[in-house]
C-alpha cells in the first residue's frame, strides 16, 4: 500500500468520527433553536461564540494550526445558526403572509391635519371620488388608533419628503400598530408664510407649523431669526390657530389651499428650500390589499446583530433581479442600538422572484412583516 492510501484511510476514519460528532452537534443546535424561538431570543450570541472559540483554541497542541482551527469553529457555528434559522422558519405561515383582502366598499376615510392640510390634498388626489365626510386627526398616532378602533377604514399620512427625508414618527408607528400600506400618492409641496389679511412682515413675531414646515423652509428663516418658531400639530392646524387668534403677530407655514380655506393671506410665497419639494403620502389600511396590478412592495425586518447579515439578505434581491427603491433604518424602541429596516422594492408578491426573496428574507430575519403590496404612484404629481 502506498503512503498516500494509508494517509487517506486515516483521514476516512477521522472524517467518520467528525461527521458523526457534527451530526450530534447539529441536533443539539436544533434544540437550542427551538428554545430560542419559544423564548423569542436572537439566534446569534456573540459572547457565547467568543467563549466557544476561546475554550477550544486554548486546548490546541500545535499552535501552527490556530488559524485553521478558528476558521473551522467559525464555519461550524455558522452552520449551526443556519439550522436554527430553519427551525425558526419551519412554522412560518406563508398563506397568511400572502393572504390579501378585497378593498373596502364605501370606505370611511381619515387624514392627518385640519381641513386644508397636504394630507387632505393627497386624499383628494388618490381617491377617484372625493370621500364623503372624511374625518381628520391632529396627531399621527390618533389616526392609527382610529384605524385600530374601526372608526375609519383608511388613513392618509405623510411618510417621506424629498428634501427632509423620512417622517420617522410614521415609520415607528407602522412598526408599533402593524397595519398595511394599501396605496401611495406624491404631492408637490409649496410652503407659504400666511397670516391675517393686511399683516405686515415686520409685525410678525411668532410662526406656527408642523416641524416639517420649518425643516423644509430653513433657508427663508435665516433672514428672520427673531421670529419664534413654534411647532404645532400640522400646517393646516397652524393656519386655523392664526385665524382663530385674530392676532397679527402670529403667522403660519402652510399651503395656499389652507390660506384660502381659513381666510388668510399669503405674506411670503414659496418659502420652501427646494422648488421641487415633494412629499410621499401613504394610504394605510388594516389589512393587506394586493391585486395583480400592484407593482411595489414594502417590508420591515430586523437582523441578528452580526457582521454581514444585511449584505447576505440584500444579495437575494440582486439574485432575483429585484429593483430596490428605498431602505430606511429606525432604532427599535426600548432596545439600544438595535434597528428595524424598512425596505421598498419593485414587484408583486404573486411573482415568483418576489415570493422567493420574501421567503428568504422572512426566514433569515429575526423579525419580519410584509407592510404592503400596492400600486406605485407617479412621482411628478
Ligand X SMILES: C=C(O[C@@H]1C=C(C(=O)O)C=C[C@H]1O)C(=O)O
Query: Which residues are tagged catalytic?
Result: 279, 281
With respect to ligand X, which residue has the nearer C-beta, 82 or 274?
82
**CA–CA gap between residue 354 and residue 348 (Å, rounded):** 7
By C-beta, is 45 or 141 nearer to ligand X? 45
C-alpha cell at 68: 485553521
Give least dist CB 299 to ligand X, A: 25
Residue 68 CB, nearest approach to ligand X (Å):
18
Q: DSSP E strands: which ranges in 37-133?
A: 109-112
Residue selected from 30, 34, 49, 125 as contacting ligand X according to rule CB under 6 A: 49
- Ranked by CB distance to ligand X, the top (closest) residue is 80
Let me know: does 216 contact 205? Beta carbons within 8 Å. no
CA distance 258 to 254: 6
Binding footprint of ligand X, residue count (CB under 6 A): 10
Name the residue nearer to ligand X (CB basis): 27 or 325.
27
Q: Smallest distance from the beta carbon of 375 to ligand X, in angstroms?
A: 41
Q: Could you say whether residue 364 binds ligand X (CB under 6 A)? A: no
Beta bridge pairs of residue 342: 300, 328
C-beta of 75: minimal distance to ligand X in Å?
Answer: 10
User: Which is closer to ligand X, CB of 34 or CB of 229?
Assistant: 34
Q: How far is the CB of 30 from ligand X (least distance, A)?
A: 9
Q: Does residue 287 belong to the site contacting ligand X (CB under 6 A)?
A: no
Which x/- pattern over 20-39 shows residues binding ligand X (rule: CB under 6 A)? ---------x--x-------
Q: Pick the closest to residue 358 from 349, 366, 371, 367 (CA basis).
A: 349
Residue pair 199/248 in contact (Cβ under 8 Å)? The answer is yes
Residue from 30, 34, 37, 45 in contact with ligand X (CB under 6 A): 45
Q: ∠ at Cα 181 (179, 184), nearest 5°? A: 150
The 51-90 site mask, x for binding ligand X (CB under 6 A), equals -x------------------------x--xx---------
Q: How many C-beta neighbours within 10 Å does residue 96 have?
A: 9
| Contacts of 26 by beta carbon, 8 Å cutoff, 6+ apart | 79, 80, 83
* 44 part of the interface to ligand X, by CB under 6 A: yes
For ligand X, which is the closer residue by CB, 78 or 244? 78
Give strand pairing partners of 185.
281
Determine the interface stretch with ligand X among 42-50, 87-95, 183-191, 321-329 (rule: CB under 6 A).
Answer: 42-50
Question: How many CB atoms are closer than 10 A to CB 95?
Answer: 7
Q: Which range binds ligand X by CB under 6 A, 43-51, 158-166, 183-191, 349-357? A: 43-51
Binding mask 295-334 for ligand X (x = CB under 6 A): ----------------------------------------
Buried residues in 5-39 as b, exposed as e (16+ CB within 10 A): eeeeeeeeeeeeeeeeeeeeebeebeebbeebbee
Stretch that binds ligand X, among 13-21, 45-53, 171-179, 239-247 (CB under 6 A): 45-53
CB of 339 to ligand X, least distance (A): 19
Bridging pattern class, strands 165-166 and 154-161? antiparallel
Pick left, alpha or beta for residue 266 (phi over 0 → left; psi -120 to 50 → alpha; otherwise beta).
beta
Residues 248, 376: Cα–Cα separation, whole Å: 43
Chain contacts with ligand X (rule: CB under 6 A): 29, 32, 44-45, 48-49, 52, 77, 80-81
Amino acid at each position: 500500500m502506498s503512503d498516500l492510501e494509508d494517509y487517506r484511510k486515516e483521514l476516512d476514519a477521522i472524517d467518520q468520527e467528525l461527521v458523526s460528532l457534527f451530526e450530534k452537534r447539529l441536533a443539539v443546535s436544533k434544540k437550542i433553536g427551538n428554545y430560542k424561538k419559544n423564548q423569542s431570543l436572537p439566534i446569534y450570541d456573540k459572547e457565547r461564540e467568543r467563549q466557544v472559540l476561546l475554550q477550544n483554541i486554548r486546548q490546541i497542541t500545535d499552535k501552527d494550526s490556530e488559524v485553521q482551527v478558528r476558521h473551522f469553529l467559525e464555519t461550524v457555528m455558522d452552520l449551526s445558526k443556519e439550522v436554527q434559522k430553519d427551525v425558526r422558519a419551519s412554522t412560518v405561515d406563508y398563506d397568511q403572509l400572502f393572504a390579501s383582502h378585497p378593498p373596502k366598499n364605501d370606505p370611511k376615510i381619515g387624514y392627518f391635519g385640519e381641513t386644508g392640510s397636504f394630507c387632505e390634498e393627497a386624499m383628494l388626489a388618490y381617491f377617484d371620488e372625493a370621500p364623503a365626510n372624511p374625518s381628520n386627526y391632529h396627531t399621527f398616532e390618533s389616526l392609527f388608533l382610529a384605524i385600530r378602533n374601526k372608526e375609519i377604514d383608511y388613513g392618509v399620512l405623510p411618510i417621506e419628503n424629498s428634501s427632509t427625508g423620512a417622517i420617522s414618527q410614521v415609520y415607528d408607528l407602522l412598526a408599533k400598530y402593524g397595519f398595511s400600506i394599501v396605496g401611495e400618492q406624491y404631492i408637490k409641496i409649496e410652503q407659504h408664510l400666511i397670516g391675517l389679511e393686511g399683516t405686515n412682515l415686520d409685525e410678525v413675531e411668532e410662526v406656527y407649523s408642523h416641524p416639517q414646515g420649518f425643516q423644509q423652509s430653513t433657508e427663508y428663516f435665516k433672514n428672520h431669526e427673531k421670529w419664534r418658531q413654534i411647532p404645532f400639530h400640522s400646517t393646516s392646524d397652524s393656519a386655523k390657530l392664526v385665524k382663530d387668534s385674530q392676532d397679527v403677530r402670529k403667522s403660519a407655514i402652510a399651503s395656499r389651499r389652507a390660506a384660502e380655506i381659513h381666510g388668510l393671506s399669503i405674506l411670503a410665497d414659496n418659502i420652501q428650500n427646494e422648488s421641487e419639494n415633494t412629499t410621499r403620502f401613504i394610504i394605510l389600511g388594516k389589512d393587506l390589499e394586493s391585486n395583480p396590478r400592484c407593482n411595489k412592495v414594502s417590508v420591515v425586518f430586523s437582523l441578528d446583530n452580526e457582521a454581514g447579515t444585511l449584505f447576505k439578505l440584500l444579495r437575494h434581491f440582486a439574485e432575483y433581479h429585484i429593483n430596490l427603491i428605498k431602505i430606511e433604518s429606525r432604532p427599535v424602541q426600548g432596545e439600544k442600538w438595535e434597528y428595524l429596516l424598512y425596505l421598498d422594492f419593485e414587484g408583486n408578491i404573486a411573482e415568483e422572484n418576489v415570493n422567493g426573496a420574501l421567503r428568504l428574507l422572512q426566514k433569515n430575519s429575526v423579525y419580519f412583516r410584509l407592510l404592503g403590496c400596492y400600486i406605485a404612484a407617479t412621482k411628478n404629481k
